[in-house]
Structure 1
Amino acid sequence: MSQTTPADVRVRVAEGPADREACFAVRKEVFVVEQGVDEAIEYDAHDTGSDTVHVLAEGPDGPLGTGRLLYGPAAAGATGGDPGVGSLGRLAVRQVARGLGVGAALVRGLEEAAAQLGLRAVDLHAQTHALGFYERLGYQAYGPEFEDAGMPHRAMRRKL
């Protein structure tokens, strides 16, 4: 693999089955293999839903990261039913791309997609070790810590 630099990273909305499979492969590598998340809970019906946007970060040698945005009815459970709030999730960056700004670029790409959909805010459930990352991007934590997939999380929100 060549040495990827931040200038080499491109983030775009995933289009079609091949892009979605690239997103799923990154998620499997990060969540299932690295973090030990049960593969049976990593993927859900929202992954192919009409109210889901996936973004894909790519470098010269292929996929580097991914994230997804749920909106409308798909986001209702995560956002308290507020139709003006999207739900950012499944943010994953391959180990070889960490430290290149890929995570921040993915979040900004998801926020841009949310704004284009007319959403006024984005919620997310952050692993507690990642709170500082999201805070630097303008997210504010709220509510108590909770467990998801066997790991501690906090809810966070950013107004667009």
Structure 2
Amino acid sequence: MSSTSYTTRVAEDPADREACFAVRKEVFVVEQGVPQEIEYDSYDAVALHVLAVRDDGTPLGTGRLLHGEAAAAKTGGDPAVGSLGRLAVTEKARGLGVGAALVRAIEDAARERGLAAVDLHAQTHALGFYERLGYEAYGPEFPDAGIPHRAMRRSL
């Protein structure tokens, strides 16, 4: 990449949201083989989406936060716990700190909404990444879209 300078921001407009969905398609659908019909769900309409973009506007990564009733409905749990999900970083942007910056931006958004903790379902190969950011795994491994996952949580 010619530039490694990037910013993260909440996706505020339709163009930002489309950029988020394009990153997810590239990473989850194309690269990992997740069926498109399960990658996008009804929670996308109510989620807070975060986008990382290179200074020239190229989308590098995305993630989303479910909070309140949406998080409780998805996780079956406490509405004071947010649900971080759909974290994706394009192949060319990996190793630049984009994923960690997105997680921190999502945590900041969770704090702004008064949440006490953030849960997520991590692909097992990414457990170390999330552990370095302060998340702790709990419960058994489970498949999601045919990919092994573990539940993780971090108190805010």
Give the TM-score of the pair, scaled to structure 2: 0.96
Query: Among residues 131, 135, 149, which one is paired with 2:131 in the alignment?
Result: 135
Give the structure 2 partner of residue 58 of structure 1: 53
| In 1: Cα distance, 2:75 partner to 2:20 partner | 23
CA contact (8 A) 1:79 1:85 kept: no
| In 2: Cα distance, 1:151 partner to 1:4 partner | 32
Partner SS state of residue 133, structure 1: helix
Instruction: Give the drift of 1:55.
Output: 0.2
> Structure 1 stretches (4+) deviating beyond 6 angstroms?
none
| In 1: Cα distance, 2:70 partner to 2:40 partner | 14
Query: Among residues 116, 138, 143, which one is paired with 1:147 in the alignment?
Result: 143
Partner SS state of residue 106, structure 1: helix
Quick check: 76-85 or 146-155, which moved more?
A: 76-85
| In 1: Cα distance, 2:71 partner to 2:3 partner | 34
Give the structure 1 partner of residue 15 of structure 2: 18
Instruction: Give the drift of 1:41.
Output: 0.1
Query: Among residues 96, 101, 104, which one is paired with 1:100 in the alignment?
Result: 96
Give the structure 2 partner of residue 4 of structure 1: 3
CA contact (8 A) 2:141 2:148 kept: yes
Amino acid at match of 1:55: V
Q: How does 1:50-129 map to 2 (within 5 A)?
A: 52-61=47-56, 62-129=58-125
| In 2: Cα distance, 1:104 partner to 1:47 partner | 21
Deviations 1:73-94 (A, max 9, x none): 1111443320110000000000
Taking only aligned residues, the RMSD between alpha carbons, in angstroms, comes to: 0.9
Q: Which runs of 5+ in 1 are unaligned?
A: none
CA contact (8 A) 1:23 1:56 kept: yes
How many residues align? The count is 155
Amino acid at match of 1:116: E
| In 1: Cα distance, 2:32 partner to 2:17 partner | 21
CA contact (8 A) 1:78 1:123 kept: no
| In 2: Cα distance, 1:60 partner to 1:9 partner | 5
CA contact (8 A) 2:7 2:55 kept: no
CA contact (8 A) 1:31 1:37 kept: yes
Instruction: Give the drift of 1:48.
Output: 1.3
